[in-house]
Amino acid sequence: MTTSSTTAEPAQGNQARRCAVCEYDLRGLEVPRCPECGAAFNPDAPPPAAVPWLSRREIGWWRAYWATVRLVLLRPRSFGAEAHRAVEVPLGEALRFRVATIAVAVASACATGLLIAVAEGEALLSPATAVGFAIGTAVAAGYLAMATVGVNSGPFAGGSVASDLRFTRLRPFACAGLATSVFVPLVVAFDLMVSRSGVDLFLSPFAVLMVGLNWWMGEVAYQHFGGRFGAARVFLFALMLPVLWLVFAVGIAAIGGLVALFVSLLINL
């Protein structure tokens, strides 16, 4: 895999080098170190994209991960603009972010499932529950792996070959909204607690809906700001994406159902 993303592009001499951690303007410094946050950089290499995840070895993966989630969701314009700057985007790093985000979402789903199972008084150590959990986890992971693979609203229209490449390499970050699934088990726990005292708030469905909305928003905003696709295309993409996710969900649920049926036949043999 090539790590250079500066094909047929003018040198970035006229572009500001921004700190990859805090986006501080790094022009005209004597020492290759950000005066704002202290992160070191190599002045001779093309600067890395200003995505905190790419600096997680310096600032720690926890801080880098959540700073990246905030960037994609709260400042999508800045995030999308990285596709159009002469910066380095290591594809492997973006894919690792996607895997981490899928792991966060699956772990949140598992925690939610466990909470509900405990509240319903299920026997957690029974083979049936264990097998059910294993299948459920595999189905969730398979679904998210498929649904975060990234689709575009059309052929790239944003500019040079290099920016097209960066657009593709940055796209795995656009699934960042899924990370907000960490709040779902908390909301479900709150719902369950409150329902003990006889009040049903039903906040859990809204929490799940919010995660979907954040995911959708991140993907759509990236098409708009990163791909610079026209409004009509982005609008169509925004409508089609949930349909595509639904198709994936039905497909993977069918596979999961078949596996579950097969396993239950084996257990009952």
Binding flag, residue 34, Zn ion (CB under 5 A): yes
204-211, long-range: CB within 8 Å, 24+ apart, which pairs? 207/183, 208/184, 210/180, 210/183, 211/105, 211/177, 211/178, 211/180, 211/181, 211/183, 211/184
Q: Using alpha carbons, list the distances in angstroms from residue 183 to 73, 209, 219.
A: 15, 12, 20
Which phi and psi angles does 97 have, rounded to 5°?
Answer: -65, -40
189 burial level (CB within 10 Å; 0-12, 13-18, 19+): middle
* Identified binder of Zn ion from the candidate list 3, 16, 25, 36, rule CB under 5 A: 36
Q: Which of 5, 17, 18, 21 touches Zn ion by CB under 5 A?
A: 21
Cβ distance to Zn ion smaller for residue 36 or 257: 36
Of 28 and 127, CB closest to Zn ion = 28
**Which member of 9, 12, 24, 29 binds Zn ion (CB under 5 A)?**
24
Indicate the SS3 state at residue 88: strand
Q: Which is nearer to Zn ion, 37 or 194 (CB)?
A: 37
Nearer to Zn ion, 21 or 165 (CB): 21
Centre a 10 Å sphere on the Cβ of residue 115 and count the other Cβ atoms it contains. Answer: 18
Instruction: State yes or no: residue 22 binds Zn ion (CB under 5 A).
Output: yes
User: Could you tell me how many residues of this chain bind Zn ion (CB under 5 A)?
Assistant: 8
Does 183 sit near Zn ion (CB under 5 A)?
no
Please, what is the minimum distance in Å from the beta carbon of residue 166 to Zn ion?
21
- Interacting residue ranges for Zn ion, rule: CB under 5 A: 19, 21-22, 24, 34, 36-37, 39
